[in-house]
Amino acid sequence: MTLQRPQRFSTQNSPDDVIDQAVLDLNHGAAVLDAAPTADLSAKQADDLANQVTLSSQLDSALDHLRTAQDGLSAADQTFLGDADEQLVSASQNILSADQAFVAAD
């Protein structure tokens, strides 16, 4: 299963948009891992795969909490946090790439 790399958001997007993109990336990564064939995996690889899926769901939940917290901030503060949110998107895209590489290497 190959998914296209999501677009990079500009600073004109709201923090909610940027966090939504990070959540989408994490969900894509989970879908990639869910589609991975597991019959040929060693016990260690299967455990690593399960841990990665768990991590993605935990990050997804944390991003939802972050979105809620940022919604309570002023527009100026949300703009200030835009660069940090961009780093979340970058990290989630890297996780997606790693998930795809894991599946391709199997």
In a domain, 37, yes or no: no
Q: What are phi and psi of 53, to 5 degrees?
A: -65, -40
pLDDT for the residue numbered 12: 56
Contact, 99 vs 33, CB < 8 A? Answer: yes
pLDDT for the residue numbered 4: 45
**For residue 89, which amino acid is it?**
V
For residue 76, what are the contacts with CB-CB under 8 A and spacing of at least 6?
A: none
- 25-49 tens-digit pLDDT: 888 888 888 777 777 778 888 788 7
In a domain, 3, yes or no: no
In a domain, 40, yes or no: no
Q: Residue 88 — left, alpha, or beta (φ > 0 → left; ψ -120 to 50 → alpha)?
A: alpha
pTM: 0.66
In a domain, 75, yes or no: yes
User: CA–CA separation, 18 vs 106, rounded Å?
Assistant: 31
Q: What is the CA radius of gyration of the chain?
A: 15
**For residue 95, which amino acid is it?**
I
In a domain, 19, yes or no: yes
Number of domains in the chain: 1
- 43-97 tens-digit pLDDT: 888 788 788 878 877 888 888 888 888 888 888 887 778 778 888 888 888 888 8
Range of the domain at 86: 14-32+69-106
